[in-house]
Amino acid sequence: MLLKLTGGTVYDPAHGIDGQVMDIYVRDGRIVDRPREGERIDQEYDLTGKVVMAGAIDMHTHIGGGKVNIARTLLPEDHRGDPVDHTELTRAGCGHVAPSTLTTGYRYAEMGYTAGFEPAVLPLNARQAHLEMGDTPIIDKGGYVMLGNDDLFLRMLAAQKDQNAINDYVAWIIHATQAMGIKVVNAGGISAFKFNQRMLDLDEKNAYYQVTPRQVLKTLARAVYELGVPHPLHVHGNNLGVPGNVETTLNTIAGVEGYPLHLTHIQFHSYGTEGDRKFSSGAARIAEAINRNKHVSADVGQILFGQTVTASGDNMSQFRNAGHAHPDKWICMDIECDAGCGVVPFKYKDQNFVNALQWAIGLEIFLLVEDPWRIFLTTDHPNGAPFTSYPHLIRLLMDKTFRNEIFSRIHPDAQKMSTLASIDREYSLYEIAIMTRAGAARLVGLHDRGHLGVGAAADITVYTDDPDREKMFAKPDYVFKDGELVVRNGKVVKVTWGATHAVKPEFDRGIEKEIAKYFDTYHTVKMDHVKVTEQHIAEDGRNHVIVQACKGRRERTA
C-alpha cells in the first residue's frame, strides 16, 4: 500500500523544514523516500496549498488512571451536560471536562493529535491506567509512572541506599508499569501530608522519613539520567499554587545540579507575592531561568476561562484548594501508600483577579521562553482547561491582536500586574510544529514520531491555512495515523486503536528479591501481581507495546 501526499506545504522542524512544498510517500504505515522502480501509487491526496505537519503529541494529559474515573464519578452533571451520540463508526460517550475514553480518543484525533501521554500513573494502578488508555481509540498512549512519595523509595532514601540500588528500583518500576518515564509529584509532600504536614518546602524534612524534597528530586533525576531514559524526570513541583512558589521552582532548577529536568504545568509554579493582593507574576524570572538552564524544559499548563476539574496526585495542594471547589464537592485520598489523589472541580473566571492573572502568567511564560524546543503546549488537561481548547490556545499564541483583545477584558487589577500586552511575540507555524510535534517527540523519547523523515511512522495532520488559527487547528482536513486516513474534515472516518509506548532501561534483576520481600511484608498484593506485561496490554487484540530505545545509557556510578 503506497500513498502519495502531493504538493503540501510541509513544516517538519526535526529536519529543519519550514514551509517547503514537497511530496510525501507512505508505504505500509511508514514514511519512505520515494516509490520503488515501477511501484504503483495506490492512493494520492492532492494537498496543494495545505499545511502538512506530523501528528501532534500531547506530552502531558490526564486521560487514564484512577483520578480521571474519580473526576467522572464526581461530576455526573458534566456527563449529562455533554452527551455525544453514537454514529455508524464511533460509539456514544459524554463529558466535556472529563470525557469518556472513547470520546477522548475521537476528539484528540479530530484535532490532529495522534498521541497523548498520561503523566500520573501510580505503580499499583498501572493496570487500570493501561486498560483505560487501551480503551482510548486512534491515538498512541503512554504514561509516566509516579515515584518519590512511595513508601519503599522513601525507605531506601532514608536508609541512604546506594544510588545503583535506587536506579534498579526505578528501572524495575518502569518495566513493571510499562511506562515511558518517571514523574514525581510534590516530591515527598504527598507522603508528608499523611503525617499531618500541610506544607513542604524544598529543604523541609518529611516528618517520618526525615528526607527532603531536594534529596528526592536529585536522586530521581540522577536515576533517570543514569538509566538513559530519554524523558527527563517529570517534575510537578512543591508548593503548587502557593503565592511565592517561584522561589521554590527556581531552587528546584538549581537543586538537581545539572541533571535533565522537565517542569510540568509550570504556570502553577510561577507565582510571586508582590502587589496589594500579594499575588504576582513570576513568569519573567521563570522564563529567564529556563532560557539560561539548558537542562531544563517545561510545559505550561495554561488555564483558560470556564468550568473544568483539577485532578492531581498532589493531595496536599488539592486539600489546600478544596475551599475553591466549584461546584462545591471534592475528593482527597491516599492510594495504597503509593501516592495520593485529589480531585477538585474548578471554574476559572476572567473577572476573578487570581484566575485572570494565572491566565496571563501562563501566556507570559509561553512568550518569554525563547527556545520552543523546551517549552510545551499543554493545559494540563483537565486541570487548566480541557484539551479541546488547544486550538483556542494556539490562536492566543499566534495572534497578538486576539490575545490583547481578551487581555483587555480580564480583571483590571490583573491587567495592571501583567506585562502581557507589551510582549509582541507571535508564534510561527514552525514554532507551533516544534512545541506540539518535533519537540514533544524528542522530549518524550519517541524516536519515530513527531517528524516526517524517512522511516518515521506516518502520523500526519493536514490543515487548511487560515488566518483564524483557532479555526484552522480545530478542524484538520486529513489526519493519518500509521498511514491510515482516520479523520477527514475534522470527523473520524476510521477508528483504529493506536499503541502504547514504553521504555525498557537495563537493570540488575537482583533488586526483585528486595522488592518482593517488601511486598510480602507490607502490601496488599504480591509483587508479581503488580507487573503489567506486554501480553496483558496486547490481550484485547487491538493494543500493543512499542518499545522506544533508551539511547545514551550512562555508566553506573562507582
Partner 1 sequence: MSALTFTLKHDAPAQRIDLAPLTPDHLAGKSSAEIGAVELLCGNRRWRADRLFDIAGSDTDDIVIDNANGKLDFIGRGMQRGRITVNGDAGSYVAFGMRGGTLTVNGNADAFAASGMTGGTLKIDGNVGDFLAAAIPGERKGMKGGLVIVTGNAGDRAGDQMRRGIVLIEGNAGAYCASRMLAGTLAVMGSVGDYVGYGMRRGTLLLFKTPAMHATFQDCGSHTLPFLSLMFKAFKGLPTKFADIDQNRVRRYMGDIANDGKGEVLVFIT
What is the binding site for partner 1 (CB under 8 A)? Answer: 75-77, 86, 329
Q: 44 or 77, CB closer to partner 1? A: 77
Q: 78 or 168, CB closer to partner 1? A: 78
Q: 76 or 455, CB closer to partner 1? A: 76
Residue 86 CB, nearest approach to partner 1 (Å): 8
Residue 97 CB, nearest approach to partner 1 (Å): 15
Residue 98 CB, nearest approach to partner 1 (Å): 13
527: cell is: 509483587
Distance, in Å, from the CA atom of 14 to the CA atom of 263, rounded to the nearest integer, reads 22
232: cell is: 527527563
Residue 72 CB, nearest approach to partner 1 (Å): 10
Residue 94 CB, nearest approach to partner 1 (Å): 13
Residue 331 CB, nearest approach to partner 1 (Å): 13
Residue 346 CB, nearest approach to partner 1 (Å): 18
Q: Are 539 and 527 in contact (CB under 8 A)?
A: no
313: cell is: 496526585
SS3 content of the chain, % helix, strand, coil (to 5): 35, 25, 40
Q: 329 or 554, CB closer to partner 1? A: 329
Q: 77 or 528, CB closer to partner 1? A: 77
Distance, in Å, from the CA atom of 468 to the CA atom of 150, rounded to the nearest integer, reads 47
Q: 75 or 129, CB closer to partner 1? A: 75
Q: 79 or 437, CB closer to partner 1? A: 79
Q: 37 or 85, CB closer to partner 1? A: 85
Q: Which of 324, 350, 314, 389 is nearest to 119 (CA)?
A: 314
Residue 301 CB, nearest approach to partner 1 (Å): 28
Q: What is the largest CA-CA distance in the chain?
A: 74
Residue 84 CB, nearest approach to partner 1 (Å): 13
558: cell is: 562507582
Q: 92 or 421, CB closer to partner 1? A: 92
Q: Are 148 and 121 in contact (CB under 8 A)?
A: no
Helix (H) or strand (E) holding 519, with range, is helix 511-522
φ/ψ of 380, rounded to 5, equals 55, 45
Q: Are 240 and 193 in contact (CB under 8 A)?
A: no
Q: 329 or 529, CB closer to partner 1? A: 329
State the DSSP string of 85-147: ---SSS--EE-SSS--HHHHHHHHHHTTEEEEEEEEE-GGGHHHHHHHHHTS-SSEEEEEEE-
Q: 86 or 551, CB closer to partner 1? A: 86
Beta bridge mates, 17: 12
1: cell is: 500500500
Residue/partner pairs of 41-45 with CB below 8 Å, 24 or more apart = 41/2, 41/3, 41/4, 42/1, 42/2, 42/3, 43/1, 43/2, 43/3, 43/4, 44/3, 44/4, 44/5, 44/6, 45/3, 45/4, 45/5, 45/6, 45/462, 45/478
Residue 328 CB, nearest approach to partner 1 (Å): 8
Cα 493 to chain centroid, rounded: 26
Q: Strand 233-236 relative to strand 261-263: parallel, antiparallel, unpaired?
A: parallel
Residue 69 CB, nearest approach to partner 1 (Å): 14
Q: Which residue spans within 465-534 are E strands per DSSP?
A: 478-481, 484-488, 491-492, 500-503
Residue 36 CB, nearest approach to partner 1 (Å): 49
Q: 103 or 238, CB closer to partner 1? A: 103
